[in-house]
Amino acid sequence: MAEARLQEGIAPARLDPADYAKNFSDLHPPFDRHEALVESDRCYFCYDAPCMNACPTSIDIPLFIREISTGNPEGAAATIFSQNILGGMCARVCPTEQLCEEACVREEAEGKPVKIGLLQRYATDIAMDRNLQFFTRRESSGKHIAVVGAGPAGLACAHRLALHGHRVTIYDGRSKPGGLNEYGIASYKSVDGFAQAEVDYVTAIGGINIEQGKLLGQDFSLAALADSYDAVFLGIGLGGVNALRAEGEDAPGVDNAVDFIAELRQATDLSKLPVGRRVVVIGGGMTAVDAAVQSKLLGAEEVTLVYRRGKAQMNASEFEQDLAAAKGVTIRHWLAPKRVIVQFGTVTGIELSYMQLRDGTLTATDATTVIACDQVFKAIGQTLASDGEGVELAGGKIAVDREGRTSNPKVWAGGDCATGGDDLTVTAVAEGRDAAESINRMLIGL
């Protein structure tokens, strides 16, 4: 054990230097050509393609796998990108075990689905590494659309609009484009600067300009954009973080998991990133798992993920839950935070109430327990950071119809900020793409 690991509290350099690169290496090493050919040969090429029906972007999965099996990965990439221009990132971060691979006939018959995600990555990586561009921008339409947010929804929308010949300006509040793909996912899921490489690949179609450091409601208003542009698409995500509603949650050492993940994603030297010796993460989704696993990989000795309901109700996929357990994270269910214990200005533990269902309602019991810790991460969901800027809200999100239209006839929205989605990258891509098609139909008078 490295001497540095004896440090109490929140501290950097808990591991030997070589451990950081090992711990944060690619979670799923890519297929080589032989592996891709062998795996693609397992596909039954089903006529009704249940895998395709399970894909939010409706990629023709049997077709692209057949193209790989016949030695045409470039054609496979074109098939993928025609439906999902961010197919490379989706191949890395999609919960395929809950989507296409869960629907795979091989999964039904053998419990071992075709590895669709890795095959998708194999094809898209080849295309991106060779900078193969499959789409030609149409003649300029003279129309100009504003896209707010350079995340998956905004990028997918911008690319499809540019394809139709429209000019697009993307406004984004951060210093780098990419949204959650750049700032919000575990580092071991997307290595070697892939998020930025994908932004470059998407914008290479032309007609797309990105302005960084421009925040809606601060640097410009939605009304001003609607007056200045032919249409507006909002892909602003969810910038706010829900409160624990627990005593002491404002104490130093209680942090937002999304901020922790973003800081880690941008760190150039992981050994300088501090983490607690004993960490508790509150939440049951992908963000909670990412924060818990990465805390462990940074050198935390004890990491406990606490969720107020049972295993079956967790939003994180079973694969993600198993990954956390395999990395040494303890997952405890039916517990909710009651009080952060602070002594001399330092977090020393968290008191939690045991939960139960009473007549279908989640209720705290009188029983409590305490977990000793020096750092707590909140990962209990995010909220819309703005008041909607003049468009109607529903359930704390921007209300949209099936085409992504808001209550403002010149404004569309998609991704995490809008109603109807399931907060997945692939769903955000589908919503951005489909909103672009709706915008295009409006612009050309259909």
In the prediction, which pLDDT does 352 show? 98
Structure tokens at 69: 């099996």
Cα distance between residue 446 and residue 444, in whole Å: 6
> Could you report the per-residue pLDDT of 411-435, keeping only the tens digit for each?
999 999 999 777 899 999 999 999 9
Q: What is the pLDDT averaged over residues 268-296?
A: 97
Match 């941008």 to its residue by tokens.
Answer: 266
CATH class of 144-239+384-443: alpha beta
Indicate the class that CATH gives domain 33-129. Answer: mainly alpha
Domain boundaries of the chain, sorted by first residue: 33-129, 144-239+384-443, 242-381
| Average pLDDT across the chain, whole number | 95
Tell me the helix, strand and coil percentages in the chain, rounded to 5. Answer: 40, 20, 40
Taking 60 as the threshold, does the pLDDT of residue 4 lie above it? no
Tell me, what's the pLDDT at 422? Answer: 79
Q: How confident is the model at residue 106 (pLDDT cuts 50, 70, 90)?
A: very high
Among 202, 153, 27, which Cα is nearest to 424's?
153
Whether the pLDDT of residue 319 is over 70: the answer is yes
In this chain, the answer to whether the domains covering 144-239+384-443 and 242-381 adopt an identical fold is yes
The two three-digit tokens of residue 73, written as one number: 């990965």
> Would you state the pLDDT for residue 95?
94
Residue 84, amino acid: N
**What CA–CA distance (Å, rounded) separates 242 from 285?**
13
Give the chain's end-to-end CA distance (angstroms, integer): 67
- pLDDT tens sequence across 156-190: 999 999 999 999 999 999 999 999 999 999 999 99
- Structure-block tokens of residue 146: 């504003």
CATH class of 242-381: alpha beta
pLDDT value of position 3: 42
Distance of CA 5 to the CA centre of its chain: 31
Q: Is 5 a residue whose pLDDT tops 80?
A: no
Which pTM was predicted? 0.95
Strands (E), 198-285: 208-212, 231-234, 240-241, 254-256, 278-282
So what's the pLDDT on residue 390?
A: 84
In this prediction, residue 2 has a pLDDT band, given cuts at 50, 70 and 90, of very low
pLDDT recorded at residue 251: 95
